[in-house]
Amino acid sequence: MATPAGPLDGDALLAAVSDAMRELHERYYRRAPATSKARMMGADLLACVLGGVYTDVEKTLIELERGPVVRDNRSLFQDAMQQRFIDTVQRLSGRRVEHFISSHNIGPDLEIELFFLGDPVPAAGT
């Protein structure tokens, strides 16, 4: 499902961000996370938690006690994808992302994307 254009707010924004993060994960890891849930924490912090994110290869590496390799690879990928995540949330929310933090955990199998939202993004041409 393609994510809608923004700006959105309330439940529509949370659903669109959850869908967009799921779509990005599925596009680049070739599998959707088991869960994806976005929540506003106050007026300016948008959090999206994805569960069941690891591929079969990553799960095997973790079982073989190669967790640091999985962590390093995921961290490098999250750094490389940062701007795509930010652009997506700015488009959907209509607000500038002032700060972005992305992290993951091996046990439990979770990934979290945090977006600290600022002022509205200026309209084109202003």
State pTM to two decimals: 0.89
What is the distance of C-alpha 69 from the center of its chain?
21
Nearest partner of 39 among 19, 78, 10, judged by Cα: 10
Query: What pLDDT is stored for residue 8 in this prediction?
Result: 94
Query: What pLDDT is stored for residue 126 in this prediction?
Result: 58
Could you give the CA distance from residue 98 to residue 65 in angstroms, rounded to a whole number?
36
Per-residue pLDDT of the chain (126 residues; tens, 9 = 90+): 555 666 999 999 999 999 999 999 999 999 999 999 999 999 999 999 999 999 999 999 999 999 999 999 999 999 999 999 999 999 999 999 999 999 998 888 999 999 999 999 887 665
**What does residue 108 show for φ and ψ, rounded to 5 degrees?**
-80, 165
Dihedral over Cα of 54, 60, 63, 67: its sign: negative
